[in-house]
Amino acid sequence: MDRRIFLQAGIGAAAATTMALRGSTAAESEVRKIGEGLRTKIAVSPNWFSGTNVERIEQIAAYGFPAFELLRCGAWEDKEAVRIRCEQLGIEVGAVGGGMGTINDWGPNDPVHHDRFVAAVKEGIANAKAIGSKLVLALSGAARQGVSNEAQMDALVQAGKRVGPLLEEAGIVLVWEPLNVLVNHAGYFLVHSADASELIKRTDHPHVKFLFDIYHQQISEGNLINNIRRYHTEIGHYHFADNPGRHEPGTGEINYQNVFKAIYETGYRGIVACEFGKTKPTEEVLEILAECDRW
């Protein structure tokens, strides 16, 4: 812990050392618990805060938010320290990504890559367990030219069936992520909620679901609330950002109070994770996120 944090806050050197040893931060005594009591389990980005990974988690907890997500956190060298501190503070960890298929290149929509996919999922499970996550994120790969959609869907189903027992043994859920091809990811294979829902139904394993990214699905298909209601049994995780721009709620066209209310009313109590570049100071963005839960 950096004792300068406490000294800059006007705390004496001896008190600073004591607080550091106890794992406290200046933030815990200086900031308002903006996220306390929210119904939506909003995961914020540790990149909005400064310090070590552990210190950033402490700041998230200080603001009263219950979770964090950064897909590449599985590569952190201090995963165990982060997991322990999260357990102490009651902070949940969102999805872990990293190599379980790609956006523009190889993917498990080609059976040639299934062994590679299985190896990547095993590594993802290990990283998720090390940091305390219950979710790993998978990508379909780019659409294969000259190969039918049905053949590519079949390949994804078989890939999910292969890793299902590994996920179940570890207590981890894999979520396939549809992405938009109109603005951000031209050429990607898995795009629409209906296809993702079909993929999950055909895989028929409780540890294989899909990720409903509200930003991507608004671009790809709209009709957000109806689709959340229609496919909620196949959805295992949520990401969100406003559209256009992929920034915090209030910068675009999505009514996040209504969307969060709809998610809650389906019975979902898992993490809804921020995935956007913020345009305002962190505390102001945290206030905006809290307002999204006030319906």
Q: pLDDT of 19-71, one tens digit each?
A: 343 344 444 558 999 999 999 999 999 999 999 999 999 999 999 999 999 99
Enumerate the H helices of 90-192 as residue ranges: 114-131, 149-170
Asked if 285 and 248 touch (Cβ cutoff 8 Å), the reply is: yes
The single residue listed with the structure tokens 């920034």 is: 247
Q: Would you kindly state where each structural domain of the chain is located, as residue ranges?
A: 1-30, 33-292
Q: What is the pLDDT of residues 261-289, one digit of tens each?
A: 999 999 999 999 999 999 999 999 999 99
- DSSP SS3 for 171: coil
Crossing angle (nearest 10°) for helices 114-131 and 79-89 = 50
The two tokens of residue 92 are 């949940």
pLDDT band at 243 (very low <50, low <70, confident <90, very high): very high
Is the pLDDT at 14 greater than 90, yes or no? no
Cα distance between residue 70 and residue 274, in whole Å: 9
Q: What is the pLDDT of residues 111-165, one digit of tens each?
A: 999 999 999 999 999 999 999 999 999 999 999 999 999 999 999 999 999 999 9
Q: Which residues are catalytic, by number?
A: 177, 275
CATH number assigned to the domain covering 33-292: 3.20.20.150
Amino acid at 17: T
The two tokens of residue 7 are 């000294």
Amino acid at 43: A
Asked if 90 and 66 touch (Cβ cutoff 8 Å), the reply is: yes
